[in-house]
Amino acid sequence: MPNAVEFSYFSLKNGSSVSDFLLVSDKFNRGFLSKQKGSITRKLLCDSDIWADNVLWETMEDVRNAFKAADEDAIAREYLSFM
């Protein structure tokens, strides 16, 4: 089965600190995403004020399961609160 690519773009909420966001992004990567089954790699991209997450997963089912887990995870919720 082929891998699944998750690509999402976003802007930071008004008043968000980029340095704070980058710290939380690293925390999200280490404390949540890297622990999810099927997570292979993640790249955080930025062009001016547009950001993007590019995540490679083993399967689409792994993507769905991670999305469900994010709803219940404090680190994931903190990361998402910047968007």
Distance CA 24, CA 30 (A): 10
* Number of domains composing the chain: 1
Domain that holds residue 68: 4-80
CATH code for the domain of 27: 3.30.70.100
The answer to whether residue 39 scores a pLDDT higher than 90 is yes
Listing from the earlier edge strand, what are the strands of the sheet with 50-57?
A: 4-10, 50-57, 39-47
Q: What is the pTM of this model?
A: 0.89
Distance CA 4, CA 1 (A): 9
pLDDT of residue 2: 82
- pLDDT tens column, 59-81: 999 999 999 999 999 999 999 99
